[in-house]
Amino acid sequence: MRQVTTSDLLLLQTRVIASLILREARATFGTSAFGYVWAIITPTVSVGLLVFIFSIIDRQPPFGASLALFFATGILTLQFFNELSGKLMTVFDANRALLTYPIIKDVDTLIARALLIGATYALIMVVFYTALVVLGLAQFPAHPEHIISAFLATWLLGLGFGSLNTIIFSLWDTWAQIEKILTRPLFFISGVFYVPSQLPPQAREVLQWNPTLHLVEWFRHGFYANYNSSILEFWYPISIGAGMFLLGLTGERLFRKTRF
């Protein structure tokens, strides 16, 4: 009898995840290509509107020449993170029926959804930032490679926090409300409206523990030639994200039996 090798299993899992992404895309965006266009337009416009409102209130950009770019680096990054942490929370419940097919595992549905959200936000960011550059509201990024790494780090942190959320939510569904309360202040403590490096040292001391602050800083570091963040630590959000993801996977394994 032929032994099943690790590469067989990886191939199987890749196949399953790819099929799940297609299915999820179909379920989320509908049949027409226009559904996907809406999925791109809606967040783009809502971020655009927020940026517009903030730029009316505050005429002087906290950094650089463009208010729009400064706020966008904060708001889009947080929105991407929130989308992952929120949508991943319910992924096990939403896909319960799929487990009828034994080759689909809970973790596959988690990864498939995270990849689809990642791909969607990659497109949203490309559209949004390109629009800013075209409209003359931003310069071409000074370090594009840093924007890509910042994006990936945001995805990892969202995946990590999202998978922890999934596990906690599957054990205790009040967590959905608590998570909302806990993540609400992120908007104010992630440097959306200010340059964290210019804060008084006491404030920086506390805020630097917030990993999403580092992500916002990372995006700005990618866009501006001389942002010179005194807080940004590349490895901090990556380690927190990877750590939480591992913890989430461990939780999935440990509490698998209680979910059935």
Residue 75 Cβ vs another protein, minimum distance, rounded to whole Å: 32
SS3 string, 14-55, reads HHHHHHHHHHHHHHHHCCCHHHHHHHHHHHHHHHHHHHHHHH
Q: State in angstroms the smallest separation of the CB of 99 from another protein.
A: 6
Residues that bind another protein in the complex, under the rule CB under 8 A: 1, 12, 15-16, 18-20, 22-23, 26-27, 97-104, 256-257, 260
Q: Which of 197, 250, 248 is nearest to 220 (CA)?
A: 197
Residue 100: CB minimum distance to another protein, A: 4
- Structure-token pair, residue 165: 């959320």
Taking the least distance from each CB to another protein, the nearer of 18 and 203 is 18
d(CA 141, CA 64): 12
Nearest approach, Cβ of 255 to another protein (angstroms)? 11
Measured from the CB atom, the residue of 39 and 156 that comes closer to another protein is 39
User: Which residue, 1 or 56, is less far from another protein as judged by CB?
Assistant: 1
The nearer residue to another protein, 102 or 201, going by C-beta atoms, is 102
Exposure string of 192-226, with b = 16+ CB inside 10 Å and e = fewer, is: beebbeebeeeeeeebbebbbbbbbbbbbbbbbee
